Structure 1
Amino acid sequence: MNYDLLTTVVIKAALEAGNEILKVYDSENFEVQIKSDNTPLTIADEKANAIINSYLVQTDIPIISEENKQTSYSIRQYWDSCWIVDPLDGTKEFINRNGEFTVNIALVEKGQPIIGVIYAPVTKTLYYADVKVKKALKAVLNSHDSTIEEVIEKSVSLKLNRLESDIIRVVGSRSHMNNETLNFIEEIRVGGNEIEVVSIGSSLKFCLIAEGSADVYPRFAPTMEWDTAAGQVICNAVGVEVISQKTNLPLRYNKENLLNPSFICKKK
């Protein structure tokens, strides 16, 4: 499998999807539907999903996307690899117009995510990584129409070069801070550490950890596999783990139940 080629495909897909999302975002108004799981859906989710699927079907690798009809596990259990996609992660942030939403695409092999892309359309910031070669990069682009050559030219490697500090920076969600998370933060504080809470939406929380702008991301509210797969790739590539609180092992993907257990994301 040519992972460099697949990375190029998903970068192109994410940029084009991000462009389409912003067309809706910048419009005067858009309809918000509520899905059966009580989560919001907009036309931007649907348009981005269609674009991403049009790219990924060309790879002949099956797709799990939040906005696709899910394939039965009786079939999925035989997949050695698959794409896991959230065409618009942070729909609540999109609706609130705070800019903190992303496009998430990851390739999973044998339950583990190995290449991934996260794109924040408002800031034109792209994160992409390949776990097998331990490489994660960030590019702030001039345009959604940037070529792969332009992406590479603007890319810088992510490094965990945080200076020693007594302050523990804990990532919290703008939409999902709960009592368990607050208790986790309090336990760190009781341990004698000063706490700084960094709030941000969508999979950008993983990116903060991967680029050294925060130290730990505890998640005790529900997430689905498409919320975390791309973020786990970015983190794993720089030596950050995303550990299930149920198994004490890295989160796994293409499970029978696509709901994630609680997890903690932090440096090894």
Structure 2
Amino acid sequence: MNNLLQTAIEASIKAGEVIMQVYNTPFDVELKDDKSPLTEADKKANDIINSFLIPTELPIISEENKQTDFTIRKTWDTCWVVDPVDGTKEFIKRNGEFTVNIALVEAGVPVLGVIYVPAVHTLYYADVKNQKAFKAVLNAHEFSMDFIIENSKVLEPKEANSDLVQVVGSRSHMSQETLDFVDTLKEKGSEVEIVSKGSSLKFCLVAEGQADVYPRFAPTMEWDTAAGQAICNAVGIEVISKETDKPLLYNKENLLNPWFLVSK
């Protein structure tokens, strides 16, 4: 296994362990400047992830790190893109649908991705260059790489079915534009089923064949999507910008993503 991918896997699981320690106790919620919620879990997970990634000597873009000015970032060919707790709203609701997202980006393109779901000890990981993505269910946050490899199953998207289209919708961010997209599918004669999930699990649903398409016509940041895009790209699923009709790119001057569509 790629050494950097192994580092990201280890970081995500250790972060997941401390996230669950906070999850299982009373915790306070702060509001950041953009009014998004922040908990002790975000901060502690970020510290743990940094402790694993800083020794790689590759720069890090993390939701919870102070952002480096683009005059410096634009010189980075390779960097990590991290969301220590993706789905903080789901975390606060205690519905288990939150993740740790870690991706490695080269020249703006995700090449490795890890999504860990700590509430159910489930790990998704991908090596895009080798076109492989996997899912492993762990017994606990304790693990060995041998166990992960032995218990990993290859992700396979579903075959298209024109009669039934399963559309991934957000638990907390269903926009009118997404509802309009669903109506368009229905007008074309398709039966539509909405599959609701929080956080980057929406990417995983498409990658593992539990849904056909994920339209995201609402704001996201690069750290929300980089790991999920890597996992999807590794199994032939595209993540296409509605602005450019090309794949989403990373380490942009503006870290806000355009709207996008995830599908074959």
TM-score, normalised relative to structure 1: 0.97
Q: Provide the residue aligned with 2:260 in structure 1.
A: 263
The alignment covers a number of residue pairs equal to 264
Q: Paired residue for 1:81, among 70, 78, 81?
A: 78
Shift of 1:159: 1.2
- Check conservation: 2:115, 2:124, Cα contact below 8 A: yes
2:248 matched to 1:251? yes
Which amino acid counterpart does residue 77 of structure 1 have in structure 2?
K
User: Which structure 2 residues correspond to residues 1-268 of structure 1 after superposition, within 5 A?
Assistant: 4-27=2-25, 29-162=26-159, 164=161, 166-267=163-264
Shift of 1:145: 1.0
Distance 2:57 2:97 in 1: 31
Distance 1:179 1:239 in 2: 28
* Percent of aligned pairs with the same amino acid: 62
- Check conservation: 2:160, 2:212, Cα contact below 8 A: no
Tell me the alpha carbon deviations over residues 16-71 of structure 1, each in whole angstroms, 9 at most, x when there is no partner. 000000000011x1000000011000000000000000000010000000000000
Q: Which runs of 5+ in 1 are unaligned?
A: none
Shift of 1:139: 0.1
SS at match of 1:132: coil
Distance 1:190 1:119 in 2: 37
Which consecutive aligned stretches of 4+ in structure 1 deviate over 6 angstroms post-superposition?
none
Distance 2:158 2:28 in 1: 43
Which amino acid counterpart does residue 82 of structure 1 have in structure 2?
C
Distance 1:245 1:167 in 2: 24
Distance 2:22 2:230 in 1: 28
Distance 2:195 2:147 in 1: 31
Distance 2:130 2:189 in 1: 37
TM-score, normalised relative to structure 2: 0.99
* Alpha-carbon distance change, 38 to 44 in structure 1, aligned in 2, over 3 angstroms: same
How well do the aligned residues superpose, as a CA RMSD in angstroms? 0.9
- Check conservation: 2:158, 2:212, Cα contact below 8 A: no
